[in-house]
Amino acid sequence: MTLLQRMDRFVYATRIDRIIFMKFQPRIFRWLPLLVFAALVAGYVMMARTASSPNRTFLFGWALFYGAYLVATFLRIFGPRFMPTALAPLDERELSVKNRAYALSGVLLVGFAMLGCFYMATESLTGLWHPHRPNDWIALGFGLQAAAILLPTWIASWMQPRPVTDLED
């Protein structure tokens, strides 16, 4: 058996082919993204508070933050459909949901970034915390990226119609 045949066998045995060829039903995540946002914020706070002396809290915050980042990416893959495939292009409703979700999430992200700029400009007056070290800024960038991944999925999930329950069951 050649290396390519072994790799093909591995892909089909682990069911990765279903993800690659989008052979699964998209899901609606209405409340799970809120937990992921909470984990992102909690992980960032735990990392930022103890970054000067890394200890268990820092490592737990790091694992929580970057774990939430990975979960946000998986929710994006398994959530509402945003990417057309050759066999299943997006219909008009899916295109309009995608456009509205991305537009609204862009407005929200820019609004929060502006609030963050105002906060950074005035934090020295109030004596509040702000990012000092490069790791704080890098984690903040990853947090914004996770929010940019997660917000359209969350918004599009709320724009999807609720599944109809069958009365005969």
Output the pTM of the full model. 0.74
Share of the chain above pLDDT 70, in %: 88
Q: For residue 16, tell me if it sits in a domain.
A: no
pLDDT category of residue 86 using cuts at 50, 70 and 90: low
pLDDT category of residue 24 using cuts at 50, 70 and 90: low
Decide if 20 contacts 144 (C-beta within 8 A).
no
Q: For residue 100, tell me if it sits in a domain.
A: yes
Q: For residue 153, tell me if it sits in a domain.
A: yes
Q: Which two tokens stand for residue 115?
A: 């609030």
As for how many domains the chain has, the answer is 1
Q: For residue 14, tell me if it sits in a domain.
A: no
Q: For residue 168, tell me if it sits in a domain.
A: no
Count the Cβ atoms, other than its own, within 10 Å of residue 150.
26
- Count the helices and strands in the chain (H runs, E runs): 6, 0
- How far is it, in rounded angstroms, from Cα 44 to Cα 143? 8
Tens of pLDDT along 53-74?
Answer: 667 777 888 899 999 999 999 8
CA atoms within 13 A on the CB side of 146: 27
Q: For residue 6, tell me if it sits in a domain.
A: no
Residue-number span of the structural domain to which 74 is assigned? 23-82+89-159
